[in-house]
Structure 1
């Protein structure tokens, strides 16, 4: 349970950094508390997308991993971020990613920040 909470906090922080750095990734809300709650829910959706959908996409795209020497990971991360944005819209959350290239850069930022936070934060089951 602690591992789940740590990963959710890391995802929320990584999403926050991407929102802060890129103007085309937006999170809107009335108050700071509302934005924080929305960010945590979006982090849960993002974690769920990465847990359920990403392994299937990686399996299907395995020949592209070999062909591109792993660079297809940037595209897959961007697609997962766009899927999270779409699901957030369906769930009436105010998180939006505008454009594929913004999603590529956002996915790169989120990957780096998540990796750094997972190195720093404790990882216990």
Structure 2
């Protein structure tokens, strides 16, 4: 049940950020749910591999390179999901930062209840 709740909360955040950020578009709510599912799968499968391969750079930048990895994951979601578009790398960085912040807030609120 918590997985489904997290997917739905992530979809809500994706729709909110798509309406708020000028370089991100989502065509509908179902697309946002698909974006949340693909994002969860890529974070589960691809992100650990990227972190492993870029570990020296991540250590040298004191973990800040993880922001770049998150942006790459967002751009991969853009490539896989029709109806979800991110206009560029820097918008993907901003989107991933805001998505992480809102997910943390919503997940902590959901766990309390």
Bigger relative contact order, structure 1 or 2, given CA contacts below 8 A and separation 6+? 1
For residues 5-38 of structure 1, what are the alpha-carbon distances to aligned partners after superposition, in whole Å with 9 as ceiling and x for unaligned?
122122212212321221111112xxxxxx1111
Q: List gaps (5 residues or longer) in structure 2.
A: none
Root-mean-square deviation (CA, aligned residues, Å) is: 1.3
Superposed CA deviations along residues 95-125 of structure 1, whole A, max 9, x for unmatched, are 11110010010110111011111111138xx
How high is the TM-score relative to the length of structure 2? 0.92
Contact 1:74-1:104 at 8 Å conserved across structures? yes
Question: What TM-score do you get using the length of structure 1 for normalisation?
Answer: 0.83
Structure 1: gaps of 5 or more residues: 29-34
Which residues in structure 2 correspond to 1:1-125 (within 5 Å)? 2-28=1-27, 35-88=28-81, 93-122=82-111
Q: Is the CA contact 1:24–1:98 (under 8 Å) kept in the aligned structure 2? A: yes
Contact 1:17 1:109 in 2 (8 A): no
Contact 2:15 2:29 survives alignment (8 Å):
no
Q: What is the alpha-carbon distance in structure 2 between the residues aligned to residue 17 and residue 51 of structure 1? A: 23
Provide Cα deviations, 1:76-111, integer angstroms capped at 9, x if missing partner: 1100000000011xxxx2111110010010110111
